């Protein structure tokens, strides 16, 4: 088991600095997708079930279109049946809510995903609350978010889940480690911190109002960065031998994608580092597949959440 407190990769080797090991998210995701194919095969053989994912897309945001296309392609690769439900950007939210409730009742659908962001006239929290807990494969329902606090979530949010799988794959221990999470979003930062705490890490969250960010990041055995700011983390802000997980995605004017970490400089100081692209991104989509298959398995075995979400909140049903 790797221990960042005792194993330092920032060493001189034949007169040169040895850089961090690059964690290949594409390779890890490919391994997990092989497992996904096998699980889909077993579902078909044992229960006659094919996992189904419904993706609701509102408007014509170019970035959302790319993300949805990648998700649909990934589903096809492992044998998940996907259905894309497009709506105009000016659609009445009540129409989308009704579509979600219909999908909740459809036994052929095991996962429901609403592609974010939504148009300004939508209340995202209300839309996400309409999704059944049993089919909330993005892990954004209030039940799943709240379940992270007590360790009883049905589906973990895909990006933090993917980060943990990367750390597990590399044999990086979390118990007792100082972990700094930069970014406090509801999608990544907050659930990431809760999931790390469940692994007995000592966690600190930094955000846009944090003063002197470097005084926190320099203490991190493991640094998870999800702030959405290019080159926010520089080499002098990172402890020698730290594990650096870059969740950020920033598109430059020339179209190139970069993360939140100054990759070339930090890799000479870290022990492990994820690249952008090719690090956390492929894992996010893959964990969506894992959650969808898990949902189909739970429902096939009669192990759904049952009555926990049977009563739709009044403001959602309207």
In tens, the pLDDT along 165-196 reads 999 999 999 999 999 999 999 999 999 999 99
Distance, in Å, from the CA atom of 97 to the CA atom of 318, rounded to the nearest integer, reads 9
Residue 50, both tokens: 């094919």
Neighbour tally for 254: CB within 10 Å: 5
Using an 8 Å Cβ cutoff, are 269 and 242 in contact? yes
On the question of pLDDT at 313 being above 70, the answer is: no
- pLDDT attached to residue 8: 40
* 3-class SS of residue 102: helix
Mean pLDDT confidence for 132-161: 93
Give the Cα separation of 222 and 246 in Å (integer): 11
Is the predicted pLDDT of residue 314 greater than 60, yes or no? no
pLDDT band at 306 (very low <50, low <70, confident <90, very high): very low
Q: Please check whether residue 279 is in contact with residue 25, taking contact to mean a CB–CB distance below 8 angstroms.
A: yes
Query: Taking residues 239-267, what's their average pLDDT?
Result: 95
Question: Given a cut of 50, is residue 15 above it in pLDDT?
Answer: no
* Residue 303: pLDDT band with limits 50, 70, 90: low
Cα 231 to Cα 17, 137, 207, 212, 221: the distances in Å are 21, 31, 15, 16, 19
Distances (CA, A) of 54 to 83, 153, 237, 249: 5, 21, 42, 25
Q: What is the pLDDT of residues 22-58, one digit of tens each?
A: 999 999 999 999 999 999 999 999 999 999 999 999 9
pLDDT confidence of residue 97: 97
pLDDT at 152: 84
Indicate if the pLDDT at residue 10 is higher than 70.
no
pLDDT at 12: 45
For the chain, the distance separating the N- and C-terminal CA atoms, rounded to the nearest angstrom, is: 52
Structure tokens at 117: 């962001």
Give the model's pLDDT for residue 18: 72
What is the phi/psi pair of residue 251, to 5°? Answer: -100, 125
Report the percent of the chain where pLDDT is more than 90.
Answer: 83
Distance CA 236, CA 153 (A): 37
Nearest-angstrom CA–CA distance, 224 and 206: 10
Greater confidence (293 vs 16) lies with 293
Spell out the alpha helix ranges (H) of the chain: 25-47, 62-78, 93-104, 124-129, 142-150, 158-169, 189-198, 214-217, 263-266, 280-300, 314-317
- Residue 284, Cβ density class (10 Å: 0-12 exposed, 13-18 middle, ≥19 buried): buried
- Say whether 215 is catalytic: no
- Cα–Cα distance between 270 and 272 in angstroms, integer? 6
Q: What confidence score (pLDDT) does residue 17 get?
A: 56
pLDDT at position 103 over 50: yes
Q: Which of 134, 135, 136, 138 is flagged as catalytic? A: 138
pLDDT reported for residue 318: 44
Q: What is the pLDDT of residue 61?
A: 87
Yes or no: say if 50 and 44 are a contact pair by the CB < 8 Å rule: yes
pLDDT averaged over every residue in the chain: 91
Task: Please compute the mean of the pLDDT values over residues 62-75 and round it to a whole number.
Answer: 91
**Lowest-confidence segment of 26-35, 249-258, 285-294 by average pLDDT:** 249-258
User: Catalytic residue at 138?
Assistant: yes
Catalytic residue, candidates 71, 135, 239, 269: 71
- What's the confidence (pLDDT) of residue 151? 85
What confidence score (pLDDT) does residue 191 get? 96
**Euclidean distance between CA atoms 232 and 183, whole angstroms:** 11
Annotated catalytic residue 18 = no
- Choose between 87 and 12: higher pLDDT: 87
My answer on whether omega of the bond before 277 falls inside 30° of 0, hence cis, is: yes
pLDDT at 255 over 80: yes
pLDDT at residue 3 greater than cutoff 90? no
d(CA 262, CA 247): 13
For residues 165 and 31, the answer to whether their CB atoms sit within 8 Å is no
Confidence check: pLDDT of 7 > 50? no
């Amino acid at each position: 088991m790797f221990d960042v407190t005792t194993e330092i990769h920032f060493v001189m080797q034949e007169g040169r600095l040895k850089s961090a090991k690059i964690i290949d998210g594409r390779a890890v995701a490919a391994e997990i997708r092989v497992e996904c194919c096998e699980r889909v095969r077993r579902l078909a053989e044992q229960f006659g079930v094919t996992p189904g994912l419904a993706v609701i897309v509102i408007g014509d945001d170019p970035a959302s279109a790319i993300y949805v296309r990648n998700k649909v392609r990934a589903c096809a690769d492992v044998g998940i049946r996907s259905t894309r439900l497009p709506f105009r950007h000016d659609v009445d939210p009540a129409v989308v809510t009704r579509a979600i409730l219909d999908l909740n009742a459809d036994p052929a659908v095991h996962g429901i995903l609403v592609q974010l962001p939504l148009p300004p006239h939508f209340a995202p929290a209300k839309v996400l609350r309409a999704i059944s807990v049993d089919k909330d494969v993005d892990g954004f329902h209030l039940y799943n978010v709240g379940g992270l606090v007590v360790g009883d979530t049905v589906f973990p949010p895909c990006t933090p889940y993917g980060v943990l799988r990367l750390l597990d794959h590399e044999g990086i221990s979390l118990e007792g480690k100082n972990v700094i999470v930069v970014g406090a979003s509801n999608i990544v930062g907050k659930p990431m911190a809760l999931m790390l705490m469940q692994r007995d890490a000592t966690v600190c969250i930094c955000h846009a109002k944090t003063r002197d960010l470097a005084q926190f990041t320099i203490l991190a055995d493991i640094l998870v960065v999800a702030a959405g700011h290019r080159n926010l983390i520089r080499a002098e802000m990172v402890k020698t031998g730290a594990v650096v997980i870059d969740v950020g995605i920033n598109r430059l004017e020339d179209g190139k994608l970069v993360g939140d970490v100054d990759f070339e400089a930090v890799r000479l100081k870290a022990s492990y580092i994820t690249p952008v692209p090719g690090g956390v991104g492929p894992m996010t989509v893959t964990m969506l597949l894992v959650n969808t298959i898990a949902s189909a398995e739970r429902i096939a075995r009669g192990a759904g959440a049952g009555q926990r979400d049977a009563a739709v909140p009044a403001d959602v049903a309207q």
